[in-house]
Amino acid sequence: IVPYLLLMKEDAEQRHHDLRELFNGLRYVIRYGIAWRAMPNDLPPWSAVYQQSRRWMEAGCFEAVVHDLRTVLRLAAGKQAKPTTAIIDSRTLRSTPESGLRAGYDGAKRKKGSKLHMAVDTLGHLLALHVTPANRDDRAEVGPLAQAIQQATDGSVELAWADQGYTGSKAANAAKEHDITLEIVRLP
């Protein structure tokens, strides 16, 4: 993973902390869900970890890792490097008091919270993820999700399968704008 995280030479004069320790600090924050300022003292200062993490995110380092790993796993499974088919679905997650305005009410699932709209390839590898309040309709999110899919795959996806929550011409037209044919899989 080191080649993805090197934004400058490892021996650059302005580097005060080991790159591995900065990455370990980021992993610690993500793993335990703590505030930046609550990092333990045996890691670099929280401000250094935060600043480097922002640099990595702005440079798209983690997206590059995921993209390359997905390509390697697809080739190892005997598939083409870039997927031509995607699967679209959504999931509603219950809110917490901290959710605030981000939370909405999903009447179909009878839950208040956020909705994850996601797309995976046929092997289950994540292509795109979009988070909205739970009251957003699945059909309305097909356009942004299709755009994100095409960005992640360099426009290689031609077909997307979805469940009956995505029926109608609005969703099909939104996908078609991004050169994706939306096919609804119906229950028997």
CA–CA dist 62, 46 (Å, integer)? 20
Distance between CA atoms of 50 and 123, rounded to whole angstroms? Answer: 33
Using one digit for the tens of pLDDT, what is the confidence trace for 168-187? 899 999 999 999 999 998 88
129 vs 104: which has the higher pLDDT:
129
Contacts of 68 (CB under 8 A, 6+ apart): 4
Digit-coded pLDDT (tens) for 13-59: 556 788 889 999 999 999 998 999 999 999 999 999 999 899 889 88
Contact 109, 90 (CB under 8 A): no
Q: Each residue of 58-92: pLDDT tens digit?
A: 888 888 888 888 999 999 999 999 999 999 998 88
